[in-house]
Amino acid sequence: MITSVLVANRGEIACRIFRTCGELGIRTVAVHSDADANALHVRVADTAVRLPGAAPAETYLRGDLIVKAALAAGADAVHPGYGFLSENAGFARAVLDAGLLWIGPPPEAIEAMASKTRAKQLMGLAPLDAARVTEADLPVLVKAAAGGGGRGMRIVRRLDDLPDALEGARAEAAGAFGDGEVFVEPYIENGRHVEVQILADTHGTVLPLGTRDCSLQRRHQKVIEEAPAPGLPAALTEELYELAVRAARSVSYVGAGTVEFLVADGRAHFLEMNTRLQVEHPVTEAVFGIDLVAEQIRVAEGRPLEAGPRRAHGHAVEARLYAEDPARDWAPQTGTLHRLAVPPGVRLDTGYTDGDEIGVHYDPMLAKVVAHAPTRAEALRRLAGALERTELHGPVTNRDLLVRSLRHEEFTAVRMDTGFYDRHLAGLTESAPDPLAPLAAALADAHGRSRFGGWRNVPAQPQVKRYEMAGEEHEVRYRHTREGLAADGVRVVHADARLVVLEVDGVRRKFEIARYGDQVHVNTARLTALPRFPDPAAQLAPGSLLAPMPGTVVRVAEGLSEGAAVTGGQPLIWLEAMKMQHQISAPVTGTLTALHAKPGQQVEPGLLLAVVQPT
């Protein structure tokens, strides 16, 4: 029997595994980088061991240090979670060689399936030869052979772009997984991403635990997932089950795993097998009423699974909350997460609590929110409503995008595919600011500022405040009167520092206010209080390229120097932040008049990287 588990991971998945361990009476051990010294997964574990450094390559990707940590802390088993070393056969062997239990599949199965090139060969498929790709093969997908989560992937539509795509994918994969191997395969446009959860024991039982649809993706990384995959014909579902079981049996698989497919034109195309727990496993848990982590632990202890098909109940949908700005090319965001609270009735898996810092070193996912209901329509409504009412104060997130996606007619009618955001992102991120939010912010700020309530027995002069909201500047005016605060065209029913109630044309609306320095949250709107008089020193020259996020300059375009002619859209600088590479392109066609970025340089948001003077 396992008595103590070290989780070789961080954040949300470590916290989720610790929760099950606690329920089973198993002690928990966390590992952490210096950047994660005060992270939630460290705080909730019974024991924690430091991995010196901050970058994944020197901490969470150091299998030797993690094995030493397990032995030092007295753990008798290791759970890899997902990402990092979860699909690294060498790490699994090192754990077993140290006399520890490995809560995962045999190293041989990982080796066979974790490399996507070898997995395709097992399923009778072969990747393209990168050196022989022709125009007729386009579009193609460059893909990391190890790992997942959208890292190390590039779509190539022009042959001239293939060398850069290969180089960028290799660098990103090496940084995220410690393995820079990539391969090329045909890219199937507008298919649905469907997967099968499997669970296998050491006694020959392999169970398919339903399907999941994960078609809504950005940068090949899933955003919304659901179970079961809606609208699939029964015959196709059975075919997916058979292929998934066949893949598992072909490598003598043990534990939880996922076999992924692209469904297009009524056919299933094998993508890969993930030899680990998936991020989206909670939707399967919800509809089958099981705990997959508990099942993993029981299998690792050698206990048999209950044979026979499992029955699903209802429908479950999961949305991933990211600290990122979808309207700005999904740019990751950092800063303090002041408040994260979801309403009752949904499941929240997170690695953050109020006051935690969102840093630059790791994935920008804040949490997963899961709704379960008797029908798909009810589950979608429940999740969208819960997200809309979630208190989420801090950096910009994708919350509004998630709510709009869940309510989009193409998604509700099950007409979605992996190109959903390519088609609809502009509409889903279109600014729709609440016109009353700035006034509510101003009235809350004005409450109690004066010892005498602000009223004088003379004609009141309007007070003016300015806010930035959704990229636009808003100026609001209000007055102090004998009856209290007032504004034209609006009746102020109530106003204090946290709650403002306004009435327009007989309709009352409530606004909940939270302020953190210059940042103001009004219901779901995020505002920035502006100074009364703009700082003239803040003006920038046209064509200035600013760092959109904190990160590291990993590359500058070859041969680029001041005085060079550039064209609009030409890639100039590459930043690495939160395990992803982000390309910064020339905003206009012109001449590069200044270049400040250098490879290896650490940058903060708003730092001037280069200037392109328009032609």
List the structure tokens of 303: 């206990």
User: Tokens at residue 117, please?
Assistant: 């090139």
- For residue 449, the surrounding DSSP H or E stretch is none
Cβ count within 10 A of residue 387: 23
Placement of tokens 């890969």 in the chain: 272
Residues 6+ apart with CB under 8 A from 421: 216, 217, 218, 223, 428
* Burial grade of 77 (CB within 10 A; 0-12, 13-18, 19 or more): buried
* Whole-angstrom distance, CA of residue 402 vs CA of residue 223: 8
DSSP state of 487: B
Q: Which of 16, 212, 276, 376 is catalytic?
A: 276
- Residues 422 and 614: their CA atoms lie apart, in Å, by 29
Extract the tokens encoding 408: 């989009």
> Could you tell me which of 275, 246, 58 has the C-alpha nearest to residue 146?
275
Asked whether 293 and 12 are in contact (CB, 8 A), the reply is: no
Q: How far is CA 79 from CA 266, 308, 536, in A?
A: 37, 27, 55
Sheet with 267-274: strands ordered across? 267-274, 255-264, 192-200, 206-218, 221-227, 315-322, 365-373, 347-350
The secondary structure of 207-245 as a DSSP string is: EEEEEEEEEEEETTEEEEEEESPTT--HHHHHHHHHHHH
Q: C-alpha angle with apex 494: 488 to 495, nearest 5 degrees?
A: 85
DSSP state of 128: B
Closest among 206, 187, 188 to 196, alpha carbons compared: 206
**C-alpha 81: how far from chain center:** 16
- For residues 219 and 483, give the distance between their C-alpha atoms in angstroms, rounded to a whole number: 54
All residues at 6 or more sequence positions from 559 whose CB lies less than 8 Å from its CB, including other chains? none
Side chain identity, residue 126: A
Under 8 Å CB-to-CB from 516, ≥6 apart: which residues? 336, 338, 393
* Residue from 355, 395, 361, 339 nearest 36 by CA: 361
d(CA 458, CA 443): 20
Task: Examine the residue annotation and report whether 276 is marked as an active-site residue of this protein.
Answer: yes
The rounded distance, in Å, linking the Cα atoms of 586 and 483 is 55
In angstroms, the CA 413 to CA 170 distance is 38
The residues with which 250 forms a beta bridge, in sequence order, are none
Compute the distance between CA of residue 615 and CA of residue 333 in angstroms, rounded to an integer. 32
Nearest-Å Rg of the Cα atoms of the chain is: 26
Rounded CA-CA distance 363/589 in Å is 33
DSSP for residue 410? H
End-to-end CA distance of the chain: 71
Residues with a catalytic annotation lie at 276
